[in-house]
Amino acid sequence: MAIIVVVEDQPDNLKLLTTLLTIKGHRVIGLTSGDKLADVVRGEPKPDLVLLDIQLPGRDGYALLEELKTLPAHTFKVVALTAHALEEDRARAHAAGFDGYITKPIDVRTFPAEVAKYLGG
């Protein structure tokens, strides 16, 4: 079981992601914006993975990733979660420092395995 923070501003998407991950035994902390993300990852329990939507109102996923990189003891992976599926989008996310890239809409059949890959499973 892992602790996974999901930052997704679309309520239906957040519910789907949470359900799929919970079924696999993970504990999910869902956030509809990145406003409290730094506080959540600094708190207890520490997350193993952050799934971070790129297109968020206010600060986007890239700005939030920069903030996360400044936190001490940043041991969790951060995976971009985005509808931007072009190769240059993937390259930009990789260059920014994301540990991985999952495109939306997600495939409910393969999503849990994609997440497991980032958790080392």
The full DSSP string for the chain is --EEEEE-S-HHHHHHHHHHHHHTT-EEEEESSSTTHHHHHHSSSPPSEEEEESS-SSS-HHHHHHHHHTSTT--SEEEEEES--SHHHHHHHHHHT-SEEEESS--TTTHHHHHHHHTT-
pTM of this structure: 0.96
Q: What is the pLDDT of residue 42?
A: 93
Q: What is the pLDDT of residue 91?
A: 96
Q: What is the pLDDT of residue 8?
A: 97
Structure tokens at 29: 């902390």
For residues 37 and 64, give the distance between their C-alpha atoms in angstroms, rounded to a whole number: 8
Q: What is the pLDDT of residue 86?
A: 86
Low-confidence ranges of the chain (pLDDT < 70): 121
7 and 49 in contact (C-beta within 8 Å)? no
